[in-house]
């Protein structure tokens, strides 16, 4: 998981898709993000965003560009905002002598005031410094008693300057510029920065990393920055992700608990397919089910705090045609959520996508009627977990709520599916004895459905 220590999710460039983007970050491997404020309005908005999403935290502050417009009383409002439990820093604050959007003496005054605020509330600072190295260093040195840690955000100075800030307890954050083709200083910094003081950030929607420069940036691209730093230092990107994640937790004093901080995983990508996790309910309790031992697959936690709506899933899927298949397979039986499943399938088919359901085949028993006609035109493949060639053995393995009726219901469901779905497949796991696998194969042949033996990974299989 990655920690993006600096992303302006409040920026109006995210107005069209903010919710979808933020909800999808967990699935893209982004564990946590800090959203710094740039002025009073964006500081307020950053707190609102952090309130809404468990994996987003906020910083509040006024950027040097807006120093001129900061009023004397704004410092009191920042103090109130800083008391919020999801506010973890004062920022972004500092000096910008490149654009000079605010008068330099006013920039310095507001910078010092906000450092004093950080000292008062006991939070680290997030520092913007562009072409103002000497004054930034001077102000920080003179106010060091009010500083309890901080970040030199998107650091652009020399290695010598970096060492000065590190000696004063600062972390050095690297962003998109380290990936740029003409990068020099950021590469020197990436090579020299002590790992225990390194952070990564996107500064999105700005500074999009290579090779996506020119597009809108978002926290999902932080992995490219980790990859580049890993390449420079001869490490693995996962190591950079782990180290910077831990560094950020320490600096921001965040206790990360995946179950608390992660968004529910409603969709998850594995290979070139996208999987949909609609529910944790199931009418079986299979001996081999991954749910008995693990929290998820492929690094995704599939236990849900709540079930998604079809609209949420459709939004998260986005362009369905980019995936080889959209597969309903999560930590539960997807046909239990039949209406949602079909509405999502309709949306996928309208985009030219392919739809598969991995199921225990008990939908008709669960709904008390034959639901398979509703699959027509919407479902390309139904993959039914057969697991055994007889009702008795099935019940021994799968412990269905319907007893041995489950097996007979499953066979009937398969024959009905054949009328409405192009591909119907029985699957068994390869731990069955060869004669049972053979008997299952014959059963599939008798019913005229396809047959597949799937690899069993001990205690890690789903229907």
CB-wise, 224 or 357, nearer to ligand SF4?
A: 357
**Residue whose beta carbon is closest to ligand SF4:** 463
CB-wise, 139 or 386, nearer to ligand SF4?
A: 386
- What is the smallest separation between the CB atom of 282 and ligand SF4, expressed in angstroms? 3
Other beta carbons less than 10 A from residue 8's beta carbon: 23
CB-wise, 286 or 414, nearer to ligand SF4?
A: 286
Chain residues that interact with ligand SF4, rule: CB under 6 A: 282, 284-286, 289, 291, 332-333, 360, 385, 462-463
Q: Residue 71: exposed, middle, or buried by beta-carbon count in 10 A (0-12, 13-18, 19+)?
A: exposed
399 to 13, 78, 134, 382: CA distances (angstroms)? 51, 58, 71, 21
What length does the chain have? 463
Secondary structure class of 370 (helix, strand, coil): coil
CB-wise, 248 or 282, nearer to ligand SF4?
A: 282
- Report the Cα 260 to chain-centroid distance in Å: 13
CB-wise, 248 or 462, nearer to ligand SF4?
A: 462
Do 118 and 146 meet the contact criterion of CB atoms below 8 Å apart?
yes
- What is the smallest separation between the CB atom of 346 and ligand SF4, expressed in angstroms? 24
CB-wise, 18 or 356, nearer to ligand SF4?
A: 356
The secondary structure of 162-224 as a DSSP string is HHHHHHTTEEEEE-GGGGSTT--HHHHHHHHS-GGGEEE---BTSSPPTTSBTBPP-GGGHHH
Element (H, E) at 358: strand 355-359
Distance in angstroms (rounded) separating the CA atoms of residues 310 and 347: 10
- What is the smallest separation between the CB atom of 262 and ligand SF4, expressed in angstroms? 20
- What is the smallest separation between the CB atom of 10 and ligand SF4, expressed in angstroms? 39
- What is the smallest separation between the CB atom of 255 and ligand SF4, expressed in angstroms? 31
Element (H, E) at 348: helix 338-350
CB-wise, 204 or 360, nearer to ligand SF4?
A: 360
- What is the smallest separation between the CB atom of 73 and ligand SF4, expressed in angstroms? 57
Q: At what angle do helices 222-233 and 237-252 cross, to 10 degrees?
A: 110
| Residue carrying structure tokens 């009627």 | 369
Cis peptide bond prior to 205, omega within 30° of 0 = yes
- What is the smallest separation between the CB atom of 20 and ligand SF4, expressed in angstroms? 27
């Amino acid at each position: 998981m990655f920690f993006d220590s600096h992303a302006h999710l409040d920026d109006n460039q995210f107005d069209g898709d903010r919710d979808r983007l933020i909800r999808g970050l967990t699935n893209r491997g982004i564990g946590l993000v800090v959203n710094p404020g740039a002025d009073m309005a964006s500081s307020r908005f950053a707190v609102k965003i952090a309130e809404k999403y468990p994996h987003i935290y906020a910083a509040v502050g006024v950027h040097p560009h807006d120093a001129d417009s900061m009023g004397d009383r704004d410092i009191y409002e920042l103090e109130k905002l800083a008391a919020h439990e999801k506010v973890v820093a004062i920022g972004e604050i500092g000096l910008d002598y490149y654009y000079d959007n605010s008068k330099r003496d006013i920039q310095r005054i507001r910078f010092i005031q906000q450092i004093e605020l950080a000292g008062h509330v006991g939070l680290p600072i997030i520092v913007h410094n562009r072409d103002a190295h000497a004054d930034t260093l001077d102000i920080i040195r003179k106010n060091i008693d009010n500083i309890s840690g901080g970040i030199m955000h998107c650091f652009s100075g020399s290695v010598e300057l970096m060492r000065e800030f590190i000696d004063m307890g600062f972390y050095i954050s690297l962003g998109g510029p380290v990936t740029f083709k003409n990068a020099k200083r950021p590469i020197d910094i990436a090579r020299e920065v002590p790992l225990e003081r390194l952070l990564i950030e996107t500064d999105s929607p700005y500074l999009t990393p290579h090779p996506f420069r020119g597009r809108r940036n978002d926290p999902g691209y932080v992995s490219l920055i980790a990859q580049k730093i890993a390449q420079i230092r001869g490490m693995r990107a996962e190591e950079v992700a782990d180290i910077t994640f831990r560094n950020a937790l320490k600096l921001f004093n965040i206790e990360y608990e995946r179950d608390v901080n992660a968004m529910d995983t409603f969709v998850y990508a594995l290979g070139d397919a996208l999987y949909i996790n609609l529910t944790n309910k199931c009418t079986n309790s299979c001996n081999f089910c991954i749910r008995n031992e693990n929290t998820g697959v492929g690094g995704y936690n599939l236990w849900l705090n709540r079930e998604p709506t079809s609209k949420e899933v459709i939004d998260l899927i986005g362009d369905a045609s980019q995936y080889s298949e959209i597969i309903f397979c999560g930590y539960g039986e997807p046909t239990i959520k039949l209406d949602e499943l079909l509405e999502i399938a309709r949306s996928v088919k309208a985009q030219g996508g392919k739809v598969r359901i991995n199921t225990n085949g008990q939908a008709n028993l669960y709904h008390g009627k034959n639901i398979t006609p509703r699959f027509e035109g919407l479902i390309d493949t139904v993959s039914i977990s057969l697991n055994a060639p007889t009702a008795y053995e099935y019940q021994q393995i799968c412990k269905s709520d319907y007893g041995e009726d489950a097996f007979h219901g499953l066979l009937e469901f398969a024959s009905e599916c054949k009328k409405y779905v192009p591909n119907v497949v029985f699957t068994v796991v390869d731990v069955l004895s060869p004669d049972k696998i053979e008997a299952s194969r014959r059963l599939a042949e008798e019913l005229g459905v396809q047959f597949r033996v799937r690899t069993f990974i001990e205690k890690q299989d789903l229907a």
